């Protein structure tokens, strides 16, 4: 039972760290890069005309904007759920386990930050 509680907590931590990492100064560049990559994949298979590329890019940008707005609506509720269950998990753990739990969360945070830094460096266009 404790293993399940710990795993649920780890998953909640990863989800919350992912949400925080998605926010940031480089997000617009990252989104634009992802949209361009998506459009290139679509074009490679469908052989789009210039007009179709323009229209589809606009639609993808609109979609991204709506998804951002939706996430901003639900983000506070998500954070509240994560915090609630972190507290419940901590209540199940002994003080020694809580200390180890904190180390695990820190390791996940470092790993996530490393992946984000690597993704950001590969997403930047070459000059």
The model carries a pTM of: 0.51
pLDDT (tens digit, 9 = 90+) per residue, 72-89? 999 999 999 989 998 999
pLDDT (tens digit, 9 = 90+) per residue, 87-119? 999 999 999 999 999 999 899 989 988 877 777
3-state SS record for the chain: CHHHHHHHHHHHHHHHHHHHHHCCCCHHHHHHHHHHHHHHHHHHHHCCCHHHHHHHHHHHHHHHHHHHHHHHHHHHHHHHHHHHHHHHHHHHCCHHHHHHHHHHHHHHHHHHHHHHHHHHHHHCCCC
């Amino acid at each position: 039972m404790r293993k399940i509680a710990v795993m649920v907590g780890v998953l909640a931590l990863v989800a919350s760290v992912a949400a925080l990492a998605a926010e940031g100064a480089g997000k617009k560049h990252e989104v634009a890069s992802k949209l361009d990559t998506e459009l290139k994949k679509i074009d490679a298979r469908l052989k789009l005309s210039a007009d179709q590329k323009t229209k589809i890019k606009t639609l993808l940008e609109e979609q991204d904007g709506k998804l951002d707005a939706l996430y901003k609506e639900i983000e506070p509720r998500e954070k509240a759920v994560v915090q609630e269950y972190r507290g419940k998990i901590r209540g199940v753990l002994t003080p020694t386990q809580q200390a180890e739990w904190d180390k695990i969360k820190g390791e996940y945070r470092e790993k996530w930050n490393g992946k984000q830094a690597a993704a950001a460096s590969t997403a930047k266009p070459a000059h």
